[in-house]
Structure 1
């Protein structure tokens, strides 16, 4: 009896540890989001890469990290290996999502995971990336728009690696599909 209880408690503890370290759905409408500090851009979010920013991109390690965060990359490893660096953006979707409206862009600098665009984003695309600048596009939904059809056009934002973090121009709002950008 005592050993069964201990085994159950150990299993429960492991489950809670795994759940807490992978994703959170708090405040995202049931959508997973990367966990961590309140800041979107946390240079220490990834494990430091001993090979530095100029090393070949370890796409397999990046895919494992993306999976641990609760997402699935939209591109195959062969495509990811060819991304120019050191700044790379990997468009991903919530693992298990079937409607295509739970997406995220995860950023890597060298082989380090360094942040994401915004949680709760319903639609986005990586327009281009050249290793120093990533251009993202977001359809803008107006109140009453159905999920299929954004009537507010699209907005583009450029991400760059500046002073040890990803910065956006113009500044990225909390949810670029719905909020107006900062002036």
Structure 2
């Protein structure tokens, strides 16, 4: 048995693990007996029989093996979590290149948004508005003057249709929220 086999598989109870020869905490590991052939008689003679690996080396090897197994498990979990976050961000982000905001184009594209399969009509301009923070700290009246009449509104929000800007072809909307002072507090793109 070699050193890498000495720790055994996880999941067994300690008593089972200790009872198995060559496991962590058990007897020192033994190298297999090697033989040399005596040339004069042609017989095998023991050579290097029962040269043991000291217990402290076997125990250290088992600890290293356990730590490496734990590190690999942790690395796998972190990798899966990172891929999940990246995948979620990819699936929920707008798939449209940023386009500089033009108020006339914004208003004229409103009718295209209402079509059955419009594509991402105003998504690029919405990304530009968000990146430049153009809408932050504006009052409700200033936002309506800039973007035109909203497609939907409530006491604290205005919603402007963008078209189908997400991967699953659902309608996307620019949601503008107002704080207690009556000024824009947040701007985001959501799906309906």
- TM, length-normalised to structure 2: 0.22
Higher strand proportion (structure 1 or 2): 1
Q: Please say which structure displays the higher CA radius of gyration.
A: 2
Q: Which has the higher contact order (CA 8 A, sep 6+)?
A: 1
- TM, length-normalised to structure 1: 0.22
Higher helix proportion (structure 1 or 2): 2
